[in-house]
Structure 1
Amino acid sequence: MKLIFTLMFTFFSLFQSDLESLRNSYSKANSSNENAKNFIALAEKKSSNDPVISAYKSASKILEAKVTTEKNKRKTFVKSGATTLESLIASNPNNAELRVIRMSVQENIPKIVGYHKNLKEDKTFLINNYSKQNADLKSYIKQFAGQSKTMTASEKASFK
């Protein structure tokens, strides 16, 4: 019995550290090309069926369009990442972290790309479902909301 608990704890710890490292790297990715490249490299190393990790991998594809030197590949990166991210959210509509990822992508992608239609929907979802999240995700959402371009000051203050 102790062996089973030890194995489960070890697996959970490894998963958490993967997720935590992705979160930390993603939160810094938009601040510089070097940070973006570091996040992309980290995300590419991850292999999991978990929708959250897959969403970070999708975000890394979209971010790759920003740092690539091959202009003809930018559209392909954005389309591939956005399609996968939308599919993940359609399959997991109540996952708050997926909504944070999509909202952050849509806030930071140039408007001319046309991938910004879910900002209000995601903002409303996060505000309405914030209290239902675990402590780590609440902290992450609060951090994201604090720097969000879409949320008003009163909306930011609602994340306690």
Structure 2
Amino acid sequence: MKIFLSIITVLVLFFQTSDVEILRNSYSKANLSVENAKNFIQLAEKKSSSDPVISAYKAASQILEAKVTTEKNKRKTFVKSGATSLENVIKNNPNNAELRLIRMSVQENIPKIVGYNKNLKEDKTFILNNYSKQTAVLKTYIKKFAMQSKTMTPAEKNSLK
């Protein structure tokens, strides 16, 4: 009986998708449609954790909310709040490649007039220099992002093996 319960427990833990993986998958689709963006925002709002990666996705969802809101006077507030939160998370965790990837993706996709695009080169360099140190799952996620990135050159994209 103990063996049976142990096997069941292992299977449940193995097939349970983590909050970070769920947020990653939703975030990677958020820019494809307004519906996907709204789904990501709702998903991120429900998460509460001290994990810096989850906090970064929550900050990205605030910024993304500026894109989908119908209240024009709130757009600036959403961007400012989200950007401040994202910058604080990165300041406290400067060696986390996923946080840099989130910021890079936000800065690539936000209108240039907003002025939140000063870290693109820095983040790209950090990601490329630290790519080999990442987990296999994160490497796959980085590659997927890089292939559609406007900031990475074809040579840089090819260097991600």
Instruction: Give the TM-score, by structure 1 length.
Output: 0.91
- Residue of structure 1 equivalent to 2:125: 124
Provide the rounded CA distance (Å) in 2 between the counterparts of 1:93 and 1:144: 20
Is residue 113 from structure 1 mapped to residue 114 from structure 2 by the alignment?
yes
Q: Which residue of 2 aligns with 1:100?
A: 101
2:18 alignment partner, SS class:
helix
1:62-81 mapped onto 2 (5 Å cutoff): 62-81=63-82
Cα pair distance change 1:79/1:13, threshold 3 Å: farther
Q: CA offset at residue 18 of structure 1?
A: 1.1
Residues 62-119 of structure 1 deviation map (CA, whole Å, 9 limit, x = unaligned): 0000000000000000000000000000000000000000000000000000000000
Give ranges in structure 2 of 5+ residues lacking alignment: none
Q: How does 1:1-160 map to 2 (within 5 A)?
A: 10=13, 16-160=17-161
Distance 2:15 2:109 in 1: 31
Distance in 2, matches of 1:20 and 1:91, equals: 22
TM-score, normalised to structure 2's length?
0.91
**Cα distance in 2 between the residues matched to 1:87 and 1:41:** 22
Give the superposition deviation at 1:17.
2.0
For the pair shown, the structure with the greater C-alpha radius of gyration is 2
Q: Share of identical aligned residues, percent?
A: 79
In the alignment of these two chains, the number of paired residues is 154
Aligned counterparts of 2:39 and 2:77: Cα–Cα separation in 1:
20
Distance in 2 of aligned mates of 1:81 and 1:157: 32
- The amino acid across from 1:34 in the alignment is E
Q: Letter of the aligned partner of 2:81 in structure 1?
A: S
Q: Which runs of 5+ in 1 are unaligned?
A: none
One-letter amino acid matched to 2:115:
G
How far apart are 1:136 and its partner, in Å?
0.5
* Cα deviations by residue, 1:23-57 (Å, 9 ceiling, x for unpaired): 01000101110110000001011110000000000
Structure 1 residues 80 and 13 mapped into 2: Cα distance closer, same or farther (>3 Å)? farther
Stretches of 4+ moved more than 4 A in 1? none
Give distance in 2, aligned partners of 1:135 and 1:151. Answer: 20
- State the distance in 1 between where 2:138 and 2:65 align: 25
RMSD (Å) for aligned C-alpha atoms: 1.8
